[in-house]
């Protein structure tokens, strides 16, 4: 071959080679830029992280096709430097991507911690649908908590039931949801809570939504839990102490064994301490179930303040007084709701002379414990702490509506009682 022809051949191969090197350099710079972006939003929401994952995967494919294209244009001997450079970029990119997927898989490690507390209320292990739903809940909550590491300290967010209703109309409400960051965040938390809280996070969510931390800080020194525990002897041999002792071993016998004296003692201390703190309420049956369910998900002092906030702030403060006036008023309001929302069912109640108080009293006083399966009760309480006592009415109406066809067919009040008090109610 003549020298000029050989130079032309080499020059002909150099042109695409320079272009290939330029493209590789641009890809490498883009990798660096994406890596910086990833580091910046490492603790932000999962949607952005998933977007970055997609970009990285596309870049990997782009490099693969680009190398294939270069091999066609340029002899293999001239690609040593380029392939070395490209392989370095590829290995670096693979390392970053693997770290990303490792970062995304970390929340799953939390599910193993579930075995650390056997008292957590979890769905039946044979219920595959509930188990799958629980895993989805964990993924959603882990993504949310990673995006806002200090979320437990943002009291304005969790105290949603105290936010005044917006009467600005649907248009203003829509704009607030679109452009107001606090409104958008509340909407996201509302969706998370309504979809369910994982058992390992339930104690923290209930504590935050109840405003228990604020209640503890605002209480005087003599009302603090350690001080109340020191005064428990004041209730010895009183009617309150006797009533508490009667109910201790009847509280969730399937979860609290007689041999588990530590948990029984904790429940006794907590109920007595609340009776000292709020003497106008003292102790009432059904409070033992409420208190025990809180203890299944949090430690003793946090359970005490959550219990106090629930009875004094979330529910009407006269719910559990000796006259039970608050509970009786809610039961009458509930019957008015049935007349408004389910008129045919209400007419069936009137036609059969059915008195609803004996049936619905445990619904409201026990907050649906012993009415629904325990895991379903926890789901109800998730919304109760977030939205307030209105949730009790919604759940009650749902239960009555689910039995409306059978209630309408009942010929007497015994038939109505059988429908509403039957064991099949627990299947919901």
pLDDT at 185: 86
Q: Is residue 138 part of a domain?
A: no
Q: Which H/E stretch holds residue 16?
A: helix 3-40
Cα separation of 426 and 428, whole Å?
Answer: 5
Rg (Cα) of the chain, in Å, rounded? 31
pLDDT at 147: 86
Both tokens assigned to 76: 């293999």
Q: Residues 6 or more apart from 38 whose CB is under 8 A from it?
A: 49, 52, 96, 100
Q: Domains in the chain: how many in total? A: 4
88 and 11 in a common domain: yes
253 and 335 in a common domain: no
Single out the residue in 107, 128, 162 at which a domain terminates. Answer: 107
Tens digits of pLDDT across the chain (428 residues): 444 454 444 455 455 555 666 666 666 666 666 655 655 554 444 444 555 555 656 566 566 555 555 555 554 444 444 444 444 444 444 444 444 433 333 333 433 343 446 689 989 888 899 999 999 999 999 999 998 888 887 777 787 776 665 555 665 555 555 556 778 888 899 999 999 999 999 999 999 999 999 999 999 999 999 999 999 999 999 999 999 999 998 898 877 765 578 899 999 999 999 999 999 999 999 999 999 999 999 999 999 999 999 999 999 989 999 999 999 999 999 999 999 999 999 999 999 999 999 999 999 999 999 999 999 999 999 999 999 999 999 999 999 999 999 999 999 999 999 998 864 444 44
306 and 353 in a common domain: no
Q: Is residue 100 part of a domain?
A: yes
Both tokens assigned to 88: 């370095």
Q: Is residue 209 part of a domain?
A: no
pTM score of the predicted model: 0.71
Q: Is residue 142 part of a domain?
A: no
Q: Is residue 44 part of a domain?
A: yes
pLDDT at 7: 47
Q: Is residue 206 part of a domain?
A: no
For 292, the domain range is 217-312
415 and 330 in a common domain: yes
417 and 361 in a common domain: yes
pLDDT at 354: 92
CATH number at residue 283: 1.10.8.270
**Alpha helices, DSSP H only, in 236-369?**
239-248, 261-277, 287-295, 300-309, 325-341, 343-351, 357-365
95 and 14 in a common domain: yes
225 and 172 in a common domain: no
91 and 33 in a common domain: yes
423 and 329 in a common domain: yes
Q: Is 211 left (phi over 0), alpha (psi -120 to 50) or beta?
A: left
Q: Residues 6 or more apart from 384 whose CB is under 8 A from it?
A: 314, 367, 391, 392
Alpha carbon 333 to its chain's center? 29
342 and 368 in a common domain: yes
Cα separation of 97 and 63, whole Å?
Answer: 15
100 and 13 in a common domain: yes
CATH number at residue 333: 1.10.472.80
pLDDT at 160: 74
Single out the residue in 252, 287, 312 at which a domain terminates. Answer: 312
27 and 81 in a common domain: yes
Q: Is residue 336 part of a domain?
A: yes
């Amino acid at each position: 071959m003549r020298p000029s022809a050989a130079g032309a051949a080499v020059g002909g191969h150099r042109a695409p080679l320079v272009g290939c090197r330029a493209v590789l350099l641009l890809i490498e710079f883009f990798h660096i830029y994406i890596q910086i972006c990833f580091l910046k939003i490492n603790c932000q929401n999962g949607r952005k992280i998933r977007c970055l994952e997609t970009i990285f995967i596309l870049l990997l494919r782009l490099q693969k096709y680009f190398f294939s294209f270069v091999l066609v244009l340029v002899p293999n001997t001239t690609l040593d430097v380029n392939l070395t450079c490209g392989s370095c970029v590829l290995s670096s990119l693979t390392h970053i991507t693997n770290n990303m997927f490792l970062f995304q898989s970390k929340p799953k490690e939390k599910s193993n911690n579930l075995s650390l507390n056997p008292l957590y209320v979890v769905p039946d292990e044979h219920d595959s649908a509930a188990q799958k739903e629980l895993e989805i809940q964990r993924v959603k909550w882990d993504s949310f908590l990673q995006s806002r590491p200090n979320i437990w300290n943002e009291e304005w967010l969790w105290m949603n039931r105290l936010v005044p209703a917006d009467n600005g109309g649907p248009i203003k409400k829509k704009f607030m949801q679109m452009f107001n960051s606090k409104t958008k965040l509340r909407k996201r938390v509302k969706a998370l809570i309504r979809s369910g809280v994982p058992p390992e996070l339930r104690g923290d969510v209930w504590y935050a939504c109840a405003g228990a931390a604020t209640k503890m800080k605002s209480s005087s020194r003599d009302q603090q839990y350690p001080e109340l525990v020191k005064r428990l002897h004041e209730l010895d041999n009183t009617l309150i102490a006797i009533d508490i002792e009667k109910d201790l071993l009847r509280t969730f016998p399937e979860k609290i064994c007689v041999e588990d004296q530590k948990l029984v003692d904790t429940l006794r201390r907590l109920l007595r301490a609340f009776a000292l703190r709020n003497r106008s309420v003292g102790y009432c049956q059904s409070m033992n179930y409420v208190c025990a369910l809180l203890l299944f998900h949090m430690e003793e002092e946090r359970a005490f303040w959550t219990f106090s906030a629930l009875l004094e702030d979330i529910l009407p403060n006269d719910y559990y007084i000796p006259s039970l006036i608050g509970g009786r008023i809610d039961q009458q309001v509930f019957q008015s709701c049935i007349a408004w929302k389910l008129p045919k069912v209400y007419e069936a109640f009137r036609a059969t002379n059915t008195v609803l108080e004996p049936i619905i009293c445990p619904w409201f006083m026990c907050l649906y414990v012993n009415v629904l399966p325990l895991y379903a009760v926890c789901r109800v309480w998730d919304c109760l702490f977030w939205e307030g006592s209105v949730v009790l009415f919604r759940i009650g109406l749902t239960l009555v509506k689910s039995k409306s066809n059978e209630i309408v067919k009942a010929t007497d009040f015994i038939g109505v009682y059988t429908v509403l008090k039957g064991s099949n109610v627990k299947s919901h």
